[in-house]
Amino acid sequence: MKALILAAGYGTRLYPLTLDRPKPLVKVGGKTILERLLRKIEKIDFCDEVYIVTNDKFFDRIDKWIKGKSFNVPISVVNDFTTSNDDRLGAIGDIDLVIGDKDPDDDILIVAGDNLFEFSILDFVTKIREADRFGVALYDVKDIKLAQRYGIVSLDGESFIKGFQEKPSSPASTLASTGIYYFPRTKLAMLSEYMETSMAKDAPGNFVKWLSEKEKVYGYVFDEGWYDIGDKVSLEKADIEYREKELDDIQKS
């Protein structure tokens, strides 16, 4: 299995903090988002490589950071050669770029580089591999108004997606798509098929909606913590809660 971290955004809603710093290298609770993600991924013993896709503006910064750290899995940083928010490829475009560049003959775990989560990524991967389907990690925000801010998923009785709404005014559920996906090797060609359509190539939810109308897509629901670091308010909330959590862990030990 390979893992791909999406880190090619420009973090404009966090300016000036991210004006000269990629969002994944922003610290939450004293550690960068990127380190927290990589430490989770390296616990998957059958993951033999991690790709990090970023833009030309932040490529050197992330590449230098990776070389200054030690992880138990090989990591490659891929430059998508965009230089601003105006010419960005979008998440789906970046996924397609990496698959075309690296040509992995393997399943791929995809994680957005501005998400933090507390569930076991190994449990997620194991469950999706058993289903042998595309998989999406879902978090129940438990609030209809809050659900209006996210890509919202409805599931059938077997936990397959039966509906997807992008930031709906009237959400059909409160299950939010979290930016964590699993692509089986045998289905990677579906991404190329999507790239040939006229549909938007930015939010991965567009691909999930399209895909769920053609294939069975498994929805993995978790109730542990999830943080979507989209703006200053969400960053501050995550920072406070991670510091409190880690202080509690220290006191308990």
174-195 confidence digits (pLDDT tens)? 999 998 999 999 888 888 899 9
Which residues does residue 112 pair with via DSSP β-bridges, in sequence order?
A: 6
What would the two tokens of residue 145 be? 């108004």
Q: Which fold has domain 2-138+179-227?
A: Spore Coat Polysaccharide Biosynthesis Protein SpsA; Chain A (3.90.550)
- pLDDT (average), residues 18-34: 94
What pTM did the predictor assign? Answer: 0.93
Q: 190, 215 in Cβ contact below 8 A?
A: yes
- Domains of the chain: which residue ranges? 2-138+179-227
Nearest Cα to 106, choosing from 53, 37, 47, 45? 47
Question: In this model, does residue 153 exceed pLDDT 90?
Answer: yes
69-119 confidence digits (pLDDT tens)? 999 999 999 999 999 988 898 899 999 999 999 988 899 999 999 999 999
